[in-house]
Structure 1
Amino acid sequence: MADTLTPGVRRGYALGSVATGTFGTVPGLLLLPYLTDSLGIAAVVAGVIVFVPKAWDVVLNPIAGRISDRSPAPGGRRRPFLLKGGLALAVCFALLFAGPTGPPALAAAWVVVWFLACATAYAFFQVPYVAMPAEMTLDYAERTRLMTWRVAVLALAILLSGATAPAVVDAFGDEQTPAGYRVMGAYVALILVVGVVGAWRGTRDAPEHRVETAGGTLRDQLRLVSASRDFRVLLLTFVLQAMGVGAMLAGVAYVADDLLDSAAASTILFAAFVGPALLVTPLWERHAARRGKRSGYLIASTFLVVGALLLLVARAELTAVVYVAAAIVGIGYAGAQVFPMAMLPDVAAEDALTSGENRIGVFTGVWTAGETLGLAIGPGLFALVLAIGGYVSSTDGSAEQPDSALTAIALGFSVVPAVLIAASMLFLRRYALDADLTTHP
């Protein structure tokens, strides 16, 4: 049975990407340099700090999915979690950058505690949010249209938060001044509130196709979810790509400061990255309608690899080339969000239809856990590359970096993501559900 959502519901659902895009971008962009260049924490330790709280979501997200699967709320199985989890996330994010500046051990402990709190709150927002499309519509093409709206808003959120958060830091100090980070934390918290409340209100009239909640323990449901071959290959693809994107996000501030020698470069990089994404997202939707989602995902991934490899030349004298490469990455990134976000509900809904039981929350819990883990490992890998290159941490960002550290920044920003994304394509080629759904809508 096919069903079409109203434009208002599509737009309302898409507003949730203001929150997911902002929280997925700003910590990856600013947390590592905040730790190394403002708090004076060594790169390896900073990498662990960024990684550990997000790794917690690997355990928590499937649990959050299972809890939302079993929710009896009359206003919608998932919607109440959007408001509660999202508002808690905003509060915790503001506190994340509001801690002490020393000694380093105390400052590091503060960041770990509040980043862990952010990860916990985000799990109870993100997992129900990602689960909703599989229950909002049963139509294969409608899910792609819904994700097109979501990715368009996601791109705007990335541009807004990624370009303005560093600017707020600089306006109230600079990238080595804690006061600037504290104001930025409050500013980003307000953006999160807008996305959270918008999604909660905007989906109040969304349909909900419920099936019987699956019985058995969480372990039983995880075992059944992992038995889905299409889900496994799609998840591995997305996690590897999240690792690559996470490494690139972590490297933006370092590339701007140490390779391009421009405080404005991080904002321009984001504009070059997101601008094309806004333009090509509708084109990716058309490709999905004509040739399927897997085909589009493979092509988008190829754009990501090519653009990432071109970023290896990041130097002040080749700034224009760097911005072109960022635009190529942006074209690929738009498709690499539209297609998997539309393919995940296909897999989860297909399982619900064939089994007659609702495991959608468990599917999305495992998915978002994998995404979060990938986005945590990526900055950790970048930090490891920095450490191997001999990057010198400081409390004011004035340390002179050796040539080996500059090379490490370039490699971590380009080659590492390119290799991860290229490897992901080997798994993506094994995805088979797309052809079945296109033939039998």
Structure 2
Amino acid sequence: MAEALAAGTRRGYALGSVATGTFGTVPGLLLLPYLTDSLGIAAVVAGFIVFVPKAWDVLLNPVVGRLSDRSTSPGGRRRPFLLRGGLALAVCFALLFAGPTGPTFLAGAWVVFWFLACATAYAFFQVPYVAMPAEMTLDYAERTRLMTWRVIVLALAILLSGATAPMVVNAFGGEETATGYRFMGVYVAAILTVGVVGAWRGTRDAPEHRVETAGGSLRDQLRLVGASHDFRALLTTFVLQAVGVGAMLAGVAYVADDLLDSSAAATILFAAFVAPALLVTPLWERYADRRGKRSGYLISSAFLVVGAALLIVARQDLEAVVYAAAALVGIGYAGAQVFPMAMLPDVAAHDARTSGENRIGVFTGVWTAGETLGLAIGPGLFALILAIGGYVSSTDHTADQPDSALTAIAIGFSLVPAVLIAASVLFLRRYALDSTRTTTHPEGDRVD
């Protein structure tokens, strides 16, 4: 059995989730309302602006993965990318919300350019970061422990950034002006920097089990990665769930303002979502040890579906039910992060063991491209539902929303994500690289 990682290495690696959780949360939470309600951009156009820069990562991420596979840096194959890409992300994020408020075309163009820059920098951080576990440890169970720490930090990052970023906006002028968003951009950039530097320093002593870098072109490697049945099943499941989660995230501000009629509701929703995740993440790890990762992923997905479906009742007189449903979503989300992130390095390391070549970066490049695409489609899908419902964009928050728009908010926040996550389970059932008692490790040993 492979040697267990040092606790300091686990915690150090987990700090990278401060950056991934923050960048995955704040744009999805605040960028669409910033475009529609502060810049006055129509919902359909705003959805397109949110989608395009992240869709760029679908092309870029596999390329970044290939570059990190071929890296020969004395500082480690992946680690140098963390610092350079992560610090660039922090700078670009601060600039994202620092642009002009008019005319509309110029304001929109500013957001597109800097969000594209953010997406590019994030790719150079995220892809090597996600690739590291497959090379840090060769042990099946150790990867689950590593991901448990990561998801705990991820939940804390979501709570910190998701709950406090709107508070910063409100403290410095509110959503009616751009000033609050500019302060928020700098604040979030500081959080990103802490996570980036922490992960870079915290993994300086991490083991690195290298395999010979695969030859051939990127197209050849993508073809070989796509031939993995287990990878296709896992990726499809994760992407569909990312679309659902992205739509829910984009809807939080609208649900709080238009359905619950309370600016504080967004913070409470995040607390209801994250607090259970912090409590149950170690329990999901224990479940994986006893019943396997695939089984745990199926059960946690069921929690997500039930919680999301219950959110259809979101309105002011049923706030308690809404927060309880958000807690169910949080329980499911914790498992739906722990298990796939622990299963991905299993798939990549299994391929490296059987082929004798390192395609781990390509695997994670395709994976993060899919995740990014899902999180981009989610807000775009929610914006499209708003447009169909007749949502009225406004720069002063005085517009009365028609009943059809309120219905669209509820459906886009609840039923659409529930259906997508339920559909994802059909693909997860095809995943076969999992066992509860007998596991083939990447180095070829078997543990009974």
Q: TM-score range by the shorter chain?
A: over 0.9
Query: What does residue 199 of structure 1 align with?
Result: 199
Comparing 428-437 with 204-213, greater Cα deviation is found at 428-437
Aligned to 1:358, the other structure's residue is in SS state coil
Contact in 1 for aligned 2:65/2:362 (Cα 8 Å): yes
Query: What does residue 248 of structure 1 align with?
Result: 248
Paired with 1:90 and 1:141, the residues of 2 have a C-alpha distance of: 33
Query: What does residue 97 of structure 2 align with?
Result: 97
Residue 216 in structure 1 maps to residue 201 in structure 2: no
Paired with 1:4 and 1:229, the residues of 2 have a C-alpha distance of: 29
Query: What does residue 225 of structure 1 align with?
Result: 225
Contact in 2 for aligned 1:34/1:176 (Cα 8 Å): no
Q: How many Å apart are 1:177 and its aligned residue?
A: 1.4
Paired with 1:397 and 1:261, the residues of 2 have a C-alpha distance of: 12
**What letter is aligned with 1:431?**
Y
Q: CA deviation digits over 1:308-341, x for unaligned, max 9?
A: 0000000000001000000000000000000000
Q: CA deviation digits over 1:40-83, x for unaligned, max 9?
A: 00000000000000000000000000000000101110000000
Residue 299 in structure 1 maps to residue 296 in structure 2: no
Contact in 1 for aligned 2:28/2:250 (Cα 8 Å): yes
Query: What does residue 181 of structure 1 align with?
Result: 181
Contact in 2 for aligned 1:389/1:407 (Cα 8 Å): yes
Paired with 2:439 and 2:129, the residues of 1 have a C-alpha distance of: 28
Query: What does residue 444 of structure 2 align with?
Result: none
Query: What does residue 133 of structure 1 align with?
Result: 133
Q: How many Å apart are 1:2 and its aligned residue?
A: 1.7
Paired with 1:349 and 1:398, the residues of 2 have a C-alpha distance of: 55
Q: CA deviation digits over 1:406-430, x for unaligned, max 9?
A: 0000000000100000000000000
Query: What does residue 410 of structure 1 align with?
Result: 410
Q: CA deviation digits over 1:198-238, x for unaligned, max 9?
A: 00000000000000000000000000000000000000000
Contact in 1 for aligned 2:301/2:421 (Cα 8 Å): yes
Question: What number of residue pairs does the alignment pair up?
Answer: 441
Paired with 1:313 and 1:412, the residues of 2 have a C-alpha distance of: 12
**What letter is aligned with 2:14?**
A
Q: How many Å apart are 1:437 and its aligned residue?
A: 8.3
Q: How many Å apart are 1:396 and its aligned residue?
A: 1.4
Q: CA deviation digits over 1:70-113, x for unaligned, max 9?
A: 00101110000000000000000000000000000000000000
Q: CA deviation digits over 1:132-165, x for unaligned, max 9?
A: 0000000000000000000000000000000000
Residue 56 in structure 1 maps to residue 56 in structure 2: yes
Query: What does residue 312 of structure 1 align with?
Result: 312
Listed as ranges, the gaps of 5+ residues in structure 1 are none
Residue 268 in structure 1 maps to residue 268 in structure 2: yes
Q: CA deviation digits over 1:167-208, x for unaligned, max 9?
A: 000000112210000000000000000000000000000000
Q: CA deviation digits over 1:370-414, x for unaligned, max 9?
A: 000000000010000000000000111221000000000000000
Identity %, equivalent residues: 86
**What letter is aligned with 1:403?**
D
**What letter is aligned with 1:256?**
A
Contact in 2 for aligned 1:140/1:437 (Cα 8 Å): no
Aligned to 1:213, the other structure's residue is in SS state coil
Query: What does residue 426 of structure 2 align with?
Result: 426
Residue 10 in structure 1 maps to residue 10 in structure 2: yes
Query: What does residue 365 of structure 1 align with?
Result: 365
Query: What does residue 21 of structure 1 align with?
Result: 21
Q: How many Å apart are 1:438 and its aligned residue?
A: 4.1
Aligned to 2:281, the other structure's residue is in SS state helix
Contact in 1 for aligned 2:289/2:436 (Cα 8 Å): no
Listed as ranges, the gaps of 5+ residues in structure 2 are 441-446
Query: What does residue 343 of structure 1 align with?
Result: 343
Paired with 1:341 and 1:305, the residues of 2 have a C-alpha distance of: 19
Paired with 1:59 and 1:355, the residues of 2 have a C-alpha distance of: 25
**What letter is aligned with 2:278?**
L
Paired with 1:280 and 1:320, the residues of 2 have a C-alpha distance of: 21
Query: What does residue 379 of structure 1 align with?
Result: 379
Paired with 1:83 and 1:123, the residues of 2 have a C-alpha distance of: 12
Paired with 1:437 and 1:216, the residues of 2 have a C-alpha distance of: 37
Contact in 1 for aligned 2:68/2:128 (Cα 8 Å): yes
Contact in 1 for aligned 2:256/2:265 (Cα 8 Å): yes
Paired with 1:307 and 1:395, the residues of 2 have a C-alpha distance of: 33
Residue 190 in structure 1 maps to residue 190 in structure 2: yes
Contact in 2 for aligned 1:36/1:394 (Cα 8 Å): yes
* TM-score, normalisation: structure 2: 0.98
User: CA 1:213 to 1:105, structure 2 compared with 1: closer, same or farther past 3 Å?
Assistant: same
Query: What does residue 355 of structure 1 align with?
Result: 355
User: CA 1:318 to 1:436, structure 2 compared with 1: closer, same or farther past 3 Å?
Assistant: closer
User: CA 1:281 to 1:438, structure 2 compared with 1: closer, same or farther past 3 Å?
Assistant: farther
Paired with 2:169 and 2:252, the residues of 1 have a C-alpha distance of: 15
**What letter is aligned with 1:370?**
G
Aligned to 1:44, the other structure's residue is in SS state helix
Paired with 1:319 and 1:142, the residues of 2 have a C-alpha distance of: 40
